Amino acid sequence: MTEWINVAKLEDIPRQGARVVRTAAGEIAIFRTVDDEVFALRDKCPHKGGPLSQGIVHGKKVACPLHDWKINLDTGLAVAPDVGCAARFPVRVIDGAVNLSLTPEA
Ligand code: FES
């Protein structure tokens, strides 16, 4: 069974931005798209560990602030030709509250 923890309010996360949550599983970035979808990825770029939470969200991708790799928020995969993957975590919004699970998605 998935264990959810309440980490933020949706309104506390800027649209096209992110908020970092420090957890027992490390720092996790919660992203919010213009359409108010939320995604959670480990806050480490698969390239050289840049803080993805500092990047700008375009559609369902975030651009790493260090070397501009684009990472798909829904899969954690880097956009080709770059290759790599950031761990994804389940996240959901219920009544404006953002819930996170610390069990990474397979
Ligand atoms: S560390 Fe993210 S693109 Fe290089």
Between CA 95 and CA 14 the distance in angstroms is 17
For ligand 1, residues with CB inside 6 Å are 45, 47-50, 64, 66-67, 69
pTM of the model: 0.95
Asked if 67 contacts 54 with a C-beta cutoff of 8 angstroms, the reply is no
Amino acid 26: pLDDT:
94
- Reduce the secondary structure of 10-51 to three states and give it as a string: HHHCCCCEEEEEEECCEEEEEEECCCCCEEEEECCCCCCCCC
User: For residue 49, which atom of ligand 1 is closest to its CA?
Assistant: 1
Amino acid 105: pLDDT:
86
* pLDDT greater than 90 at residue 6: yes
Best residue among 44, 48, 54, 56 to mutate for probing ligand 1's pocket (most ligand atoms within 8 Å of CB) is 48
Task: Give the model confidence (pLDDT) of 21-56 as tens digits.
Answer: 999 889 999 999 999 999 999 999 999 999 999 999
* pLDDT greater than 90 at residue 1: no
Between the CA of 82 and the centroid of ligand 1 the distance, in Å, is: 10
